[in-house]
Amino acid sequence: METFGKRLTDAIEKRGPLCVGIDPHAALLTRWGLTDDVAGLERFARTVVDALADRVAVVKPQSAFFERFGSRGIGILESTIRQLRDAGSLVLLDVKRGDIGSTMAAYASAYLDPASPLSADAITVSPYLGVGSLQPAFDLAAANGAGVFVLALTSNPEGPSVQHAVGNDGRTVAQTVIDEISQVNRGAEPLGSLGLVVGATIGRTGHDLSEVNGPLLAPGLGAQGATPSDLRSVFGESLRNVLPSYSREVLNAGPSVSALRAAAEAAVDDCRAALG
């Protein structure tokens, strides 16, 4: 079984360094001329699949925007994941789960067990009950060739009050998370399957990402203010592992399939140039 790190490396080489988020919030549905209901959600998701599934390396559905419509929204999410994967995109399901014991194991089973209708190639998780609490997700991901992206340095203004807090050993909370993920990824080829989420808008923070040996998801490009040229200042020598992530900058081009494709292609070109 190929690891997620290997599959991600191959997908980026083939399709380019780009992750596109699927974030069907009410304002975006309205912008597309769609109704803010299950019918609008289904039309939106189907259009994004038609436009991008066969050409973007990674697609990142935000689960909350499907969950808000209840079971029918979850059904559309299941269908969207299946269609994206069938077309060759890796699916990074943005769920940001984090719990302990059997509850974390249940979350892992929901998203990382191939038998689940919500099974994805990777998920996002929150480490703020301790990185060790995420072990059930790490274990199931490893068993099934999937990936896990752990929140480390986020771009929201409230983040630093927690992530930059300093522990007894002199490290920040974020650096502790970074170091623990680095340890798990050590020696993996060509890339570890545990990644980190590091916002593209955060600038220089003084944190050391050089030993991560895993993918670095960089949300915040485009409408949130960051540009591909900002990536070097955030990631420095770890630039080679960065997976740039756009959402609104690409999605605002819809509902035209051709315009969505053009926006994604432009983003890939910009990211390739910035990442070298």
pLDDT value, residue 37: 98
Q: Which of 6, 14, 60, 96 is catalytic?
A: 96
For residues 34-73, b (16+ Cβ closer than 10 Å) or e, as one string?
bebebebbbbbbebbbebbbebbbbbbbbbebbeebeeeb
Question: DSSP labels for 15-83?
Answer: H-S-EEEE---HHHHHHTT--SSHHHHHHHHHHHHHHHTTT-SEEEEBHHHHHTTHHHHHHHHHHHHHH
pLDDT value, residue 125: 98
Task: Say which amino acid occupies 264.
Answer: A
In the chain, which stretches have pLDDT less than 70? none
Handedness of CA 141, 85, 90, 34 (dihedral sign): negative
pLDDT value, residue 218: 97
pLDDT value, residue 1: 87
Tell me the pLDDT tens digit for each residue of 97-127. Answer: 999 999 999 999 999 999 999 999 999 999 9
96 is a catalytic site residue: yes
pLDDT value, residue 224: 84
> How far is the C-alpha of 242 from the C-alpha of 58, rounded, in Å?
13
Domains of the chain: 4-275 (3.20.20.70)
pLDDT value, residue 276: 86
Task: State whether residue 249 is helix, strand or coil.
Answer: helix
pLDDT value, residue 266: 97
Question: DSSP labels for 202-223?
Answer: S-------TT--S-EEEEEEST
- Is residue 17 within 8 Å of 244, Cβ to Cβ? yes
CA angle 199, 80, 217 (to 5 degrees): 15
pTM for the predicted model, two decimal places: 0.97
Structure tokens at 89: 């995109």
> How far is the C-alpha of 238 from the C-alpha of 15, rounded, in Å?
20
pLDDT value, residue 174: 98
- Is residue 75 within 8 Å of 106, Cβ to Cβ? no
